[in-house]
Amino acid sequence: MEYITYEHNAEAADIISRYYDTPPLAYVHSYGCQQNVNDGERIKGVLVDIGYGLCDKPEDADLILFNTCAVREHAEQRVFGNVGALKGLKEKKPGLIIGLCGCMANQKHVVEKLRQSYPYVDLVFGVDGIDTLPGLIARKLEKHKRILLEPAQRPVIVENLPIRRESEFRAWLPIMYGCDNFCTYCIVPYVRGREKSRRPGDILAEFRGLIAAGYKEITLLGQNVNSYGKGLEESIDFADLLNLLCSVPGDYQIRFMTSHPKDASHKLIDTIAAQPHLCKHLHLPVQCGSDRLLARMNRHYTVEHYLELIEYARARVPGITFSSDIIVGFPGETEEDFQGTLDLVRKVGYMQLFTFIYSKREGTPAATYPDATTRQEKTDRMSRLLAVQDEIAMGLVRAQVGQTVRVLVEGYGRLEGTLSGRLDNNLTLEFPADASLMGQYVMVHLTDARATVLLGEWMP
Ligand code: 5AD
Ligand code: SF4
């Protein structure tokens, strides 16, 4: 593993500026998880660094880049649909560069499909190649040839990539990349490669910069933040990293995702209890509530271990809430397995649940597992799960009414003249107030709830 520093590519910037009469415009669209959204912000930063302006509509662009997601088939189909829709635009504007990057671009069969069936796609590069984008664009402009790179893992971490963040007070901060867990349904380890941790000094420097720039909420990102630190020279784990970051003075809150239950430690939970900067919430994806399926998923924990963690967290961190990811219809899931999931969901009482119907990913072990459950049975199980969860969530949301909370104002509410914020547990609240409060911490008294949205009154 090598750590390298991004350097401005003056030669590429020069080629680009000579090619266009006026500064060219780029349209970048990211699909999928927060990690990808953050990659998209860095892609925009790099493009601005070499002379591009950014635009919001593909029709205005000289360069269109789709930063893609491969986690479920539906996400891939959407991308192919959106790329297909650009054919007409390219015919009208032959100089337009159309590129695809991110997780889909790290799959051989996708690159092959683009090569064969999407001749108007000019540029394809994988998740680790953001720093190489200037050189690729320059080569494309000079040689007028398609550049479709074959998927490859690059054992490097590039520090100091320029960035154009979407918000002025909420920021994503990756602490590690890739995943070593190989859950049998998941494509991530194949497309994002082996786990690699950023050095604590680099993370701390970026964190300090964000706090100094006025950022109030930092979300630390990694596929499995609890295994942070593996392979680093220093001996440091995720809880140590949290303590290091929390030593930076300022008024801010830290969130993090995602925690893997097999690595979430009591030390981590004790740290959440001890550090006021950490939101009292844990996103702890369980995937399902059957030990038999958990083993087939290669998750390395049991329902009992999971519930023990939840119990420990509840005892140590008063008021802590939980959210989770659940896969319905994993190959071989029986009604009994599914009942185990419903049971677990009832026992934990999640504030939020992100639910997915199993999607077969070519190249993963589970793609070869026999699957006799019909689509209809799977969607039926999904509706039953959602009905159970809705009832739980409504009860938990209602129970918040009457409290006075301190929240960061993040956006506009659905009604005119209202603003929105999120509680520690990610619940959204809305209250009438003036837009000048945007990005600030305010006290709000929670007066009512509509479905899962809380309503409140600002307490100046
Ligand atoms: N099918 C359905 N859901 C999946 N996830 C990952 N791979 C798949 C798949 N093949 C879900 C998991 C994970 C979340 C990010 O996406 O629940 O936690
Ligand atoms: Fe996929 Fe499992 Fe890694 Fe999460 S921990 S990215 S579900 S392989």
Instruction: Tell me which residue has tokens 């990539």.
Output: 161
Pairing between β-strand 217-221 and β-strand 170-174 as defined by DSSP bridges: parallel
2, 8, 9, 14: CA torsion to nearest 10? 180
> Could you tell me if the CB of 186 is within 6 A of ligand 2?
yes
* Distance between Cα 298 and ligand 2 center (Å): 10
pLDDT at 424: 87
Give the right CATH number for 2-148 from 3.30.420.40, 3.65.10.10, 3.60.20.40, 3.40.50.2300. 3.40.50.2300
Atom 2, ligand 1: residue with shortest CA distance: 358
Identity of residue 300: H
**Residues in the chain, pLDDT under 50:** none
> Could you tell me if the CB of 103 is within 6 A of ligand 1?
no
pLDDT at 452: 86
- 287-399 has the same fold as 2-148: no
Is the CATH number 3.30.750.210 carried by domain 167-279? Answer: yes
Residue 326 alpha carbon, nearest atom of ligand 1: 17
> Could you tell me if the CB of 187 is within 6 A of ligand 2?
no
Give the tens place of pLDDT for each residue, 386-416.
Answer: 999 999 999 999 999 999 999 999 999 998 9
pLDDT at 1: 87
Predicted TM-score (pTM) of the model is: 0.96
Give the tens place of pLDDT for each residue, 423-441.
Answer: 988 899 999 999 999 999 9
Q: Shortest CA distance to 228 belongs to which of 240, 216, 218, 217?
A: 240
- As assigned by CATH, the class of the 287-399 domain is alpha beta
pLDDT at 153: 86
- What is the phi/psi pair of residue 168, to 5°? -95, -5
> Could you tell me if the CB of 371 is within 6 A of ligand 1?
no
Radius of gyration of the chain (CA): 23
Atom 2, ligand 2: residue with shortest CA distance: 183
Spatial distance between the Cα atoms of 411 and 440, rounded to a whole number of angstroms: 11
Give the right CATH number for 404-458 from 2.40.50.140, 1.10.357.10, 3.30.70.1280, 3.40.50.10310. 2.40.50.140
Cα–Cα separations (whole angstroms), residue 304 to 164, 205, 295: 44, 39, 13
pLDDT at 425: 86
The ranges assigned to domains in the chain are: 2-148, 167-279, 287-399, 404-458
* Distance between Cα 178 and ligand 1 center (Å): 15
Instruction: Tell me which residue has tokens 């919001």.
Output: 56
> Could you tell me if the CB of 70 is within 6 A of ligand 2?
no
Cis peptide before 219 (omega within 30 of 0): no
* Distance between Cα 195 and ligand 2 center (Å): 11
Residue 354 alpha carbon, nearest atom of ligand 1: 17
